[in-house]
Structure 1
Amino acid sequence: MEVTSDVALLTKAKRRLRRSAHEQRNLLTDRAQRSARIQTLIESLTVYREAQALHCYLAIRSEVETRPLIGAALAAGKAVACPFVDAQGLVQHSWLASIAPTSFTHDALGLPQPNQLRPAYAGEWQLTLVPLLAFDRAGYRLGYGKGYYDRILATTQGLALGLAFACQEVTVVPREAHDRPLDLIVTEAEVIWV
């Protein structure tokens, strides 16, 4: 599928793909092992090893689990920021001091956010780790449809790294002109450089 301007057609295609991709991901019974393999591959990357600071989501539902990766990054002396949605529905970022469960509360939607907020700003990290529902080999991703990561990536200068299970790959992700491809995607099977 090419970049399209037919909003209704695009919206329908994305909705259908989101549902299918979410179902595929939910069928995985060994997500912890697959997530651990993804972490191993990420930690082997030069771009990760050289990054002094990174931005990483806190996994929810059936996403690639990130807490062990965040814990290892903090233990290695890296600064780690995470996103959260404030009371006004705006995406904010906070540096993490710990990944311990007691370091987090949950917002009205059940999403984790740090207890102690230490503001972080785009440009302060070299690597952004991004969740997704589906991806293609051109580096395009399909998220949940709220545009949070579209806004984050639009203001970030460093590399954007998508975390996914191999079953989330599709031939082509429906996209719009403003969509930005990721720089690389890491699955349990491989590292895909775009």
Structure 2
Amino acid sequence: MKKDDIRRTVRARKSLLTENEKAEAAQSVFDRLEQMAAFMMADRILMYHSLPDELSTRDFLGKWSGRKHFFLPRVNGVNLDILPYEQTRLHLGAFEIEEPDGNDLTDIADIELIIVPAVAYDRHGNRVGRGKGYYDRMLAGSRATKVGVGYDFQLIDDAIDTDSHDVPVDIVITQSHTVIRRR
């Protein structure tokens, strides 16, 4: 399935969600994540700070930030820098996403688990991002377990067309499904 077609379809489905449906989905997905060994064993976790159309990460970050070391990406040209998450050290950055302040960059090699946002995933861990390649460039240098999270309708049955630079996730979690990619 073509990425642009997937982006259009998912955007339309997201626009129909109520605030209550969004909150329930985020709660369900992050409850599932908390039960996974990859999460339980990880201490250094790269999250994303959610946009309004993504599963909200705010409650999850608040719940676990005292027990896990969270990091967030910050756009730097065509790449992503990784910085520690502190609720009091955020600013509205590129693409209207809250990003961390400071200069204490973290190497992607030091991250144990990465929660990867995307527009959609297929059952092989392939993903459709927003089209800029930021996450693919960053994920290419990581050995961390990569977990994609989304609404049920963001997990599609058709195979996603991929390019040589695309980096799949290892696990996809939605409200009703957990898909583990076999390597």
What is the aligned partner in structure 2 of residue 179 from structure 1?
166
Aligned residue-pair number: 178
What is the aligned partner in structure 1 of residue 101 from structure 2?
115
What is the aligned partner in structure 2 of residue 67 from structure 1?
58
Is the Cα–Cα contact under 8 Å of residues 95 and 117 in structure 1 kept in the other structure?
Answer: no
- How many angstroms apart in 2 are the aligned matches of 1:168 and 1:108? 24
Q: Deviations over 1:143-187 (max 9, x none)?
A: 000001101110111110001100112222111233222100111
What is the aligned partner in structure 2 of residue 51 from structure 1?
42
What is the aligned partner in structure 2 of residue 18 from structure 1?
7
Q: CA deviation at 1:108?
A: 5.1
What is the aligned partner in structure 1 of residue 24 from structure 2?
33
Residue 80 of structure 2 aligns to which amino acid in structure 1?
V
- How many angstroms apart in 2 are the aligned matches of 1:118 and 1:92? 10
Q: Deviations over 1:46-98 (max 9, x none)?
A: 1100001110111012101112222222122x111110113x343211011x3
**Structure 2 SS opposite 1:155:** coil
- How many angstroms apart in 1 are the aligned matches of 2:133 and 2:140? 11
Is the Cα–Cα contact under 8 Å of residues 24 and 168 in structure 1 kept in the other structure?
Answer: no
**Structure 2 SS opposite 1:42:** helix
Is the Cα–Cα contact under 8 Å of residues 136 and 173 in structure 1 kept in the other structure?
Answer: yes
Residue 5 of structure 2 aligns to which amino acid in structure 1?
R
Classify 1:94/1:14 alpha carbon distance in 2 versus 1 (closer, same or farther; 3 Å).
same
TM-score scaled by length of structure 2: 0.90
Classify 1:59/1:117 alpha carbon distance in 2 versus 1 (closer, same or farther; 3 Å).
farther
Residue 131 of structure 2 aligns to which amino acid in structure 1?
G
Classify 1:24/1:123 alpha carbon distance in 2 versus 1 (closer, same or farther; 3 Å).
same
Residue 133 of structure 2 aligns to which amino acid in structure 1?
G
- How many angstroms apart in 1 are the aligned matches of 2:94 and 2:172? 31
Residue segments in structure 1 that go unaligned for 5+ positions in a row: 2-12
Residue segments in structure 2 that go unaligned for 5+ positions in a row: none
Which of 167, 179, 183 matches 1:192?
Answer: 179
- How many angstroms apart in 2 are the aligned matches of 1:175 and 1:20? 18
| Residues 1:126 and 2:112 aligned together | yes
What is the aligned partner in structure 2 of residue 167 from structure 1?
153
**Structure 2 SS opposite 1:94:** strand
Give the % identical residues.
26
Aligned alpha-carbon RMSD (Å): 1.6
- Of residues 18-27 and 28-37 in structure 1, the stretch that sits farther from structure 2 once superposed is 18-27
- How many angstroms apart in 2 are the aligned matches of 1:37 and 1:182? 20
